[in-house]
Homo-oligomer: A and B are copies of this chain.
């Protein structure tokens, strides 16, 4: 069982089994993407990573914490994809919707995983915090929208409604696409949805 690491330590403090930690994360991601969060057991992760129960719980608080750690990376990846080239209202709106679609089509299992956790978060206390971080709630987006409203670039819609018009179709489309119920060329879908998003909110 892989005698584990001991990395370069500088000062006088600890040296963690970083590789072990990584291998656990990696194995967990594999399992979650393949079978979903609920269906994945700690045992699956144990076997896939070669770590023992003890190690897993040494590094992470539990299955939920593991998912949370992975989710943060996922969201980061998506946010990156949704960054607009310029900051005109049109570019921002289209990048939000189009970026989500494009990211989701490139990482279908990741999207499904994210969607699963988001849903569970509604009732599972261990995911409580993530709900806002996720899809919805990106506070900055709301303020950006307000700014565009003031500049009369977009319609003066309540943020929840604007959010729904911009991201709702993208989200919905990905849900269909990632469960094999959409037959459209990816590129075309992305364009259609980004354009529609802009059309729905432009002033």
When chains A and B are docked, how far (Å) is the Cα of A176 from the Cα of B122? Answer: 11
Query: Which of A11-19, A62-70, A82-90, A163-171 forms part of the interface with chain B?
Result: A163-171
Asked whether B39 lies within 8 Å of A161 as measured between CB atoms, the reply is no
Asked whether A122 lies within 8 Å of B131 as measured between CB atoms, the reply is no
Asked whether B168 lies within 8 Å of A123 as measured between CB atoms, the reply is no
Contacts of A175 in B (CB 8 A): 136
Query: Which of A21-29, A52-60, A72-80, A112-120 forms part of the interface with chain B?
Result: A112-120
Asked whether A182 lies within 8 Å of B168 as measured between CB atoms, the reply is no
Kindly identify which residue among B120, B131, B161, B171 contacts A193, using a CB–CB cutoff of 8 Å. Answer: B161
Q: How many copies does the complex hold?
A: 2
| A140 contacts chain B at the CB level, 8 A cutoff | no
The answer to whether residues A119 and B115 also contact, given A164-B173, A176-B163 and a CB cut-off of 8 A, is yes
| A189 contacts chain B at the CB level, 8 A cutoff | yes
| A9 contacts chain B at the CB level, 8 A cutoff | no
| A48 contacts chain B at the CB level, 8 A cutoff | no
A168 to B: closest C-beta gap in Å:
3
When chains A and B are docked, how far (Å) is the Cα of A116 from the Cα of B36? Answer: 14
Kindly identify which residue among B123, B131, B176 contacts A160, using a CB–CB cutoff of 8 Å. Answer: B176
Kindly identify which residue among B123, B167, B173 contacts A39, using a CB–CB cutoff of 8 Å. Answer: B123
A162 to B: closest C-beta gap in Å:
9
Which residues between 126 and 183 of chain A lie within 8 Å of chain B, taking CB atoms?
131-132, 136-137, 157-158, 160-161, 163-165, 167-173, 175-177, 179, 181-183
| A106 contacts chain B at the CB level, 8 A cutoff | no
